[in-house]
Chain A
């Protein structure tokens, strides 16, 4: 089956006064049709940077951007800015950002913001677009008359639904969600997760779901990629990765989750996340790995197929 999105050797480095930050350092994954891929990892591991790299939303201090992003037969990294802007963004790949209060324009009505992509990209008339917005509101569980409201008149959960509705406006093939629920409280979080699951089934959406919360990812995603220091160290079907993690980092992550039942205490991962301007040599996890070998300090591991998933670890080579 042809993957909807196929990413190979994606690199994105930013330039800062301290040096270049290797935010995305050789990321590889495939996204199948109708599949939800979860990208999990600690803060600063490069999840969000991967997301914006996919739609080429590069910051002004980018120093390196290379790799292949194969989408519908085209390599997105080779397209011009104008092509990406008018053809790819939102029409084919849309995004749900973290923290909906700040991602909505405070002086425009929410209905208009949902309708805006239609007006701009598809040249639809304003009234017609607003009708579509009302439909989308119903789809995400909002009363249609709320299109007249402003963002500050809605609660956090409602705003997030608006943002999700906006992401669906042009019927994209892929929706990237960057921590869509981390700014919400737990009960609202559950509602949004249910909404996402429903939409995925109803609209047969392909999603990339970025989070630091493995439990949430396990709820929604079919596939999971564990990121560390800009690389995906383990990528595979969710049950396999979570129940039988192969990479030492994944193992540690799973064991960090506290269990309600049983006496097992949650563990922690010793050491600190690496400095992305000066990452460790060889395997980036080696300073914190309990299985570290001499090889690990020198050579970067390749992705190997281990038990139905891809793992980057010298233990398996």
Chain B
């Protein structure tokens, strides 16, 4: 027992080990947090589901870049409204929804979007109109939606946009071009056709003023009004939201699908831990067991195990990994299976020679002469001697498992049902993030891979003096 205590104190002594433990605690803490707050099927339910991300700006930088530049980038804004102010204009019942937006920076929004949820109507389909009042008090009647007619089998009340909200990407709507065309005519006496308007960019026209031939952003308060116009007073729109697309978003920015990279990166923690840890534990257990048996039992068993190990050790890992993953699909357990199958031989070979030298030690001989069974000797006498080495190998192998999975994901062979750091990088690379300078997409996942791998390397380095007494410091 004092051997254990001495080993622990030796381990704890070096700065390297302390750093490794700290890193490890960080990784574990984040993983626990992630597993607790995010659902297990996050990958299939959210990450791979483009509709979930449709309101986010695409390729947005992280929010905190604004702290580092004088020229601030536009923040992303989702403006909800639930309360309506009803009116009656003689013929129609009107419900007005108000939202305010303040443009504070010298930039245009990247897109605008309207979201409608939970629309009920009783008689004929209502219309939804969108108005924007600018800081210079000019109002644009931007967009009109005619709600769909009821289907033949439907009975009132007719419910729309309840299971899935209706999202209208205004930046892509051609009808807006007409509205803006007339705005340009009245405002600047500019005669344009709709395709020219589209080329100019809706956001520039709506949120800017024409100065010397180009549009400058118009800072100030914008009032957005959505009006539900219907023939039945009971008609109601549950929720309305107006999305103003920004250039920055979230803690880590977004990718080309608008996915919040922070969530994806977070999810990578437990996955990396799982892969690294499980693979290395299984590999070590198999490798150690076979090595001890091979070394102690000897004979034909030894020969067989060693030959097999030697041949497998000679296999080139990555090409075969690629081939097998390609054929059987990139499921996580397949990757782990292949890594284990390739990983155990090296441990077996080394352990065997260690066991061979321990086998002839006097304390083993005395155990044999006392009549201990082979299993007991292997477990009770031999195993404790090689246990520190096994432990350090296990820790040392973890980063290679993490890196192998990341590499496979990068090649597109990863498990598509969950976001891993390698996959985020794969998607980034495929979309040219490297050549287009999307650093927030490329740097963080890699840094996290390195961080989690370094954690285990540090731990293994810290364990080195315990395993190899020659390297101990004299106290």
User: What residues make up the interface of A, taking CB atoms closer than 8 Å to B?
Assistant: 16-18
Contacts and interface: CB of A to CB of B under 8 A. Distances in A.
B305 to A, nearest CB: 26
Contacts of A17: 473-475
B165 to A, nearest CB: 71
A44 to B, nearest CB: 16
5 contacts: A16-B474, A17-B473, A17-B474, A17-B475, A18-B474
Contacts of A16: 474
Contacts of A18: 474
Contacts of B474: 16-18
Interface in B348-393: none
Nearest to B474: A17
Nearest to B475: A17
A18 B473 CA distance: 11
A18 B475 CA distance: 7
Contacts, number: 5
Nearest to A16: B474
Nearest to A17: B474
* Majority secondary structure, B binding face: loop
A125 B474 CA distance: 47
A17 B474 CA distance: 6
Interface string B439-475: 0000000000000000000000000000000000111
A224 B475 CA distance: 37
Nearest to A18: B474
B13 to A, nearest CB: 13
A284 B9 CA distance: 35
Interface in B36-67: none
Enumerate the 5 nearest inter-chain pairs by beta-carbon distance, A residue then B residue, closest first.
A17-B474, A16-B474, A18-B474, A17-B475, A17-B473
B93 to A, nearest CB: 90
Contacts of B475: 17
A17 B473 CA distance: 9
A16 B473 CA distance: 11
B88 to A, nearest CB: 93
A277 to B, nearest CB: 11
B362 to A, nearest CB: 18
A95 B473 CA distance: 31
B471 to A, nearest CB: 14
Nearest to B473: A17
A84 B475 CA distance: 35
A275 to B, nearest CB: 13
A17 B475 CA distance: 7
A310 B475 CA distance: 39
A18 B474 CA distance: 8
B462 to A, nearest CB: 20
A263 B475 CA distance: 46
A16 B475 CA distance: 10
A32 to B, nearest CB: 41
B428 to A, nearest CB: 51
A83 to B, nearest CB: 34
B473 to A, nearest CB: 7
Contacts of B473: 17
A23 to B, nearest CB: 16
A231 B474 CA distance: 26
B378 to A, nearest CB: 31
B431 to A, nearest CB: 55
B301 to A, nearest CB: 28
A281 to B, nearest CB: 25
B357 to A, nearest CB: 16
A275 B475 CA distance: 15
A16 B474 CA distance: 8
A270 B232 CA distance: 113
A208 to B, nearest CB: 30
A150 B271 CA distance: 54
A148 to B, nearest CB: 29
B474 to A, nearest CB: 5
A134 B475 CA distance: 50
A299 to B, nearest CB: 32
A35 B169 CA distance: 106
Interface in B90-115: none
B469 to A, nearest CB: 16
A289 B150 CA distance: 115
Interface in B313-367: none
A17 B472 CA distance: 12
A41 B475 CA distance: 28
A213 B26 CA distance: 59
B450 to A, nearest CB: 34
A175 B34 CA distance: 73
B14 to A, nearest CB: 15
A291 B300 CA distance: 65
A294 B473 CA distance: 39
B253 to A, nearest CB: 51
A280 B474 CA distance: 22
